[in-house]
Chains A and B, each alone.
Chain A
């Protein structure tokens, strides 16, 4: 079954990508032109520019990168210099540099990796300044999943060029990156929220499976918290998550809402944040504070939560995949004592994980768009995503990569999490006003969690403010 799908995709992408070479196709999407290879603009690239989906033989060595399959098409830009805003630190940065070097070596296009500011807000501000000045200094950007809406007008339209490639990725993320019908970026890696739990404690307290509903989670958390405190650890808590007034809370809230059938804040241009299920969901979360969650959770971000969990002081945690790798190291106090599961639901909701990944986008002001296209094609390809998954546990945005056995071995949590719906925040609905919308959302939720206002009042007020905003 899978191989059928793969060969279908392969064939499809071969047909489609043939005309998607470097030259921007000015007319209708290539999907409408099955005879595309006849197009004169598509130079020598031909079938070489195709993104292959054969994932065999990808190495887990950082020095052993997948071949640049589109090298031939890219070589027409040899000698140009691309500036790429990539990861700044650690393994991510080393991998970006390795990728740039490999690409340069095989295509003659010189790729300079510029380290991005670590903090997303700072990075956002810096990109803003670049675009404001229409700077030609940078060609390819890493782009947070919530930014395409805001930056769409400054990003190169790759709808036609990457029409085939886009079909490989999770549709939700591609849809998220498509603003007013224009594909602005290709997904590169995609985190999503998940439930971490302590396997040893689960067993010790007589449960045989992680919770699937929020009620179950509350019950287990309460039992274990009371038990561990009685055993002499006054600091033990049931459930930690991200409740501080920042973007992370919007992500948590979206998961609570979606998994309890309360919608996604804004849908089809209507504000839906204030509904009975939403009020119930926020009330539930506010009830956790000071009971199964510590009071301080209202000031927690990712690391505050992880340090509690990894220090052995929590039964459950909501966090991103990085916490899995971090808690799985040899010197971790909870190594082999935890696992992950989809976040719980309240019927008829579905298990949800907010998407928090990064895309690659090309600046409209770039003077090397052709070269940039080939670079992005290579960087976001299935081969590259598999390599990045194996070497750096970057979560793939391509289903066939997520389902690859070697990838699952490197990231065992992917197997448990296949039922999770990857939900995206409503950044497309709000366009350049997303940050305003999200600030309204997380500030209101934070107030309800702090207890300074009721969930119902907080959401009613948020509804009003959002309506005024998107009007």
Chain B
């Protein structure tokens, strides 16, 4: 794009030679971006465009019925769809809880590993394990550990530590208990991701900054808020964005552990229900676009509040 600008704006007689430094840099940058753009076009924008198109139709999967263009009808229906708003509520609640915990816990772990303590190698390996077990398996594993007859968590709470006096049906009590039970699994599963990304961020903070602060007599806590946190901001932003993005699209953990319960449905389960179970390509695509917009909203909020993009 800028290539075209560069060549057409330059006088024809001198050609490329007259490119300014900025122009040639910009041109080089675009060349570096070519592979990414190709991938984005192929696996990113094409599905996006197609989904958007379907959201304006009444298409059904594997149906012989002709497809009609229905304009914004699906969107208008979505705006009155109470169940959809319930799923938004569930998902946002789940996201706030999990991302909040994961962030605090992940930062803690990252700081611990980054500090000079013995056995940090072990810790780094250990914290990766939850992320290394495929979600399809770990969700079932947790469902088993939560089981109200033979689950180990109930055994620990009731028989070993005596915290409760009878077994708890974590997945079948009420909406809140179920949501927190699932959140605990997600936090377990993805804290490593957060910890590792924040650790990478911590590692680029030069240590002489701290040395200077030591000389100035700042204590560890002051150093954390004055140096670590601000310098870590770019890493925090990226981590929060990607975790939020994943959390808002949560599917497998809920599906495996709670099935398609109405009171705990998430946005992605609702989309899958329309798209796959109901073959309703039109409405399912509309829900997907809505999820897309909600996620985009979160990204905008993060970027505005954490004010990073300028740098």
Contact = CB atoms under 8 A, between A and B. Distances in A.
B61 interface: yes
Interface of B: 60-64, 143, 147-150, 166-167, 169-175, 257-263, 273, 276-279
A452 B86 CA distance: 15
B64 A153 contact: yes
Interface stretch (A21-29, A50-58, A160-168, A432-440): A432-440
Contact of A307 (B150, B169, B262): B150
B149 A237 contact: yes
Contacts of B257: 299
A383 interface: no
Given A235-B167, A295-B148, A295-B169, A245 B261 contact: yes
Interface string A281-308: 0000000000000111111010010011
A131 B258 contact: no
Contacts of B171: 296, 299
Nearest to A444: B262
B172 A235 contact: no
B62 A234 contact: no
Interface of A: 121, 124-125, 127-129, 131-132, 150-151, 153-154, 234-235, 237, 243-246, 294-299, 301, 304, 307-308, 311, 313, 432-433, 435-436, 439, 442-443, 446-447, 450, 452
Contact of B149 (A128, A151, A296, A450): A296
A438 to B, nearest CB: 9
Nearest to A309: B149
A124 B276 contact: yes
A296 B147 contact: yes
A439 B279 contact: no
Nearest to B63: A432
Contact of A443 (B147, B260, B278): B260
Query: Interface residues of B: mostly helix, strand, loop or mixed?
Result: loop
Contacts of B175: 452
A-B pairs with the 5 shortest C-beta distances? A296-B148, A296-B169, A295-B169, A299-B171, A298-B172
A44 B60 CA distance: 43
Given A435-B277, A436-B277, A246 B259 contact: yes
Contact of A299 (B172, B263, B276): B172
A299 B259 contact: yes
Contacts of A313: 149-150
21 contacts: A121-B277, A125-B276, A129-B62, A131-B62, A234-B166, A235-B150, A245-B260, A294-B148, A295-B172, A296-B149, A298-B169, A307-B147, A432-B60, A432-B63, A432-B279, A433-B278, A442-B260, A443-B260, A446-B259, A450-B172, A452-B175
A153 to B, nearest CB: 5
Contact of B61 (A128, A295, A443): A128
Contacts of B60: 432
Nearest to A154: B62
A66 B149 CA distance: 45
A182 to B, nearest CB: 14
A452 B172 CA distance: 11
A296 B166 contact: no
B260 A128 contact: no
Contacts of A446: 259, 261-262
Contacts of B63: 153, 432
Contacts of B259: 244-246, 299, 301, 446
Contacts of A127: 62
Contacts of A128: 61-62, 276, 279
Contacts of B62: 127-129, 131-132, 150-151, 154
Given A245-B261, A436-B278, A297 B174 contact: no
A452 B262 CA distance: 11
A310 to B, nearest CB: 10
A239 to B, nearest CB: 13
A124 B273 CA distance: 12
A22 to B, nearest CB: 26
B98 to A, nearest CB: 20
Nearest to A440: B262
Given A128-B61, A297-B172, 8 more contacts: A124-B277, A235-B167, A244-B259, A294-B167, A295-B169, A439-B260, A450-B174, A452-B174
